[in-house]
Homo-oligomer: A and B are copies of this chain.
Amino acid sequence: MSKETTSKSRPWDVLHREIEEDDVVGVESALENLTPSEKARSLSRLSAEDQSKLLTMLPAADAADLVEDVPDVQAAGMIERLRPEAAAPIVEALPSDGQANLLGDLSKGAAEGILDELSSQDAAEARELLSYPDESAGGVMAKEILGYQNHWTVGDVLTDLREFADKYADYDVQYTYVVDGEDRLLGVLRLRDLVLAPSRQPITDLMIADPVSVHAEDTLEVLGDCFEQHHYIGIPVVDEENRLIGAVHRNAVLEEENRQSEEAYLESTGIVGGEELRTMGFFRRSSHRLSWLSVNVFLNIAAASVIALHQEILSAVIILAVFLPIISDMSGCSGNQAVAVSIRELTLGVIRPRDVFRVFWKEGMVGVLNGIVLGILLGGIAWLWQDNIYLGVVVGGALALNTLLAVLLGGVVPLALRGLKMDPALASGPILTTVTDVCGFLMVLTFAAKYLAELTDG
Contact = CB atoms under 8 A, between A and B. Distances in A.
A45 to B, nearest CB: 8
B279 A350 contact: yes
Query: Which secondary structure dominates chain A's binding surface?
Result: helix
A86 interface: no
Nearest to A354: B4
A348 interface: yes
Interface centre among A348, A373, A377 (most CB of B within 10 A): A348
B337 A289 contact: yes
Q: How large is the interface on A (under 10, 10 to 19, 20 to 34, 35 or more residues)?
A: 35 or more
Contact of A325 (B270, B294, B381, B437): B437
A161 B250 contact: no
Contacts of A308: 319, 322
A228 to B, nearest CB: 4
Interface string A304-315: 110110010011
A304 B323 contact: yes
Given A321-B314, A362-B278, A334 B293 contact: yes
Contact of A330 (B4, B68, B162, B297): B297
A158 B196 contact: yes
Contacts of A326: 297, 300-301, 304
23 contacts: A45-B358, A158-B195, A161-B195, A161-B196, A195-B195, A261-B261, A266-B340, A266-B344, A269-B333, A270-B333, A270-B336, A276-B344, A278-B358, A293-B333, A300-B325, A300-B326, A301-B381, A305-B322, A307-B322, A308-B322, A318-B318, A324-B325, A325-B441
